[in-house]
Structures are given as structure tokens and as C-alpha cells.
Amino acid sequence: MEAKKLGDTFTRAKPFLAVIFIQLGFAGMTVITKFALDKGMDQHVFVVYRHLVATLVIAPFALAFERKRRPKMTISIFIKIAILGLLETFIYYTGMKLTSATFTSAMCNVLPAFAFILAWIFRLEKVKLKKIHSQAKIVGTIVTVGGAMLMTLVKGVAINLPWAHQAVLHRPQPTPLLLPLSRTPSRAPS
């Protein structure tokens, strides 16, 4: 009986575990990418390598499992998908090269919130404050934007990673955005 209950719990938890592992994979990919870009790799070359590896890994599964179920791929649809995919990744990695991995990750996580806000502004999304679905969307948007702002604006403690540039770690730190709780000046030891 306990094994069945544990199995049911695991079955219900699978989607949540999948999302957690996907986010960990995205974070790992972001760190590895930022490391490669900081070492001098061109972002356009990186995009080509990434798409090539992704095609080699995913194409056999798509051909094996989706061959009979997928809609017909026309040249027009293929060109649109290719242009949108390449344009998105070029912009993403150019932004990562010019900013930090933290900022890039925060902005990617905010995209669904921006999509919801724009859909609401253009009346594509109905928001009824008395419905639980609308309340969840609003709270999710607030939490997402707040979390991205917190990640981007608050400077935390530097983590000394073995592969990080030592010069980057010893930059003068900007003044913190959050004020200390007490306003009493600290005295120098006598």
C-alpha cells in the first residue's frame, strides 16, 4: 500500500521535477556559454555550433517518433522557423556577451510575463479578478518581474569559481542598492 502511494506521489511530481531539471539545465548552459564567450568565442560561431549539436541530438528522435504524426514541412514554414530560431539565438547570445549571465537569465525568465502583459494590453487575454486563473496569472507576473529585478539589481557575494577570471572578481564593487538597517556610523577600532 505504501509503495503504491509513493508511486502515485512520484507520478504527480514528475512534471514539477521536469521543470526543475530543465531550469537547472538552462542555468548550466548559461554559465558555460558565458564562460565560452568571455574566453573570446564569437557568439555567431557559438550559435552555429549549438544548433548543429542540437540537430544531431534531437533529429533522430524526431524522425523515429514523429515521422507519421507531424504536419507536412513546406519550404516556407522551414525558412520561417529557421530565421526565427537563428534570430532569437543571435540576439540572446549577443546580449549575453554584452551583459552578464545573471541579467540574461533574468530577462529570459521575464518573457512570459511580458507576453501576458502585452496580451492583456491588446485585449488578447481576458483578466477577471474574481477568477482563480486570472489571479494566478497576475501573481505569477508580479513574482516573475520582482524576482528578475531582485536578481539583476541586488549585488550578492562573489563566488570564486576555479575557471572565473580573477581580474573580474576584484573589480571595485558598486554601492549596494539596499540600505543597511541601522544608520549608526561604525567606529574605527582604537
Q: Which residues of 132-162 are buried (b: 16+ CB within 10 A; e: fewer)?
A: eeeeebeeebeebbeebeebbeeeeeeeeee
pLDDT digits (tens, 9 = 90+) for 74-113: 899 889 988 988 888 888 888 888 887 777 777 877 888 8
pLDDT of residue 169: 44
Instruction: Look at residue 144 and tell me whether its pLDDT is greater than 50.
Output: yes
pLDDT > 60? residue 185: no
Assign 39 a pLDDT band (cuts: 50, 70, 90): confident
pLDDT at 56: 94
Contacts of 95 (CB under 8 A, 6+ apart): 104, 107
| Confidence tier at 170 by pLDDT (50, 70, 90) | very low
Q: What average pLDDT does range 36-44 have in this prediction?
A: 86
Summarize the confidence of residues 137-153 as an average pLDDT.
87
Mean of the pLDDT values across residues 129-151? 89
Cell readout for 48 is: 552555429
Helices (H), the chain: 2-38, 43-66, 75-98, 101-121, 132-153, 166-169
Please give the pLDDT value at position 1.
64
Higher pLDDT among residues 44 and 168, named by residue: 44
Which amino acid would we find at residue 123? R
Mean pLDDT value across residues 40-69: 87
pLDDT of res. 43 = 86
* In the predicted structure, residue 173 carries a pLDDT above the cut 70: no
Per-residue pLDDT band for 186 (boundaries 50, 70, 90) equals low
What residue spans define the domains of the chain?
A: 101-153
Better-scored residue on pLDDT, 92 or 60: 60
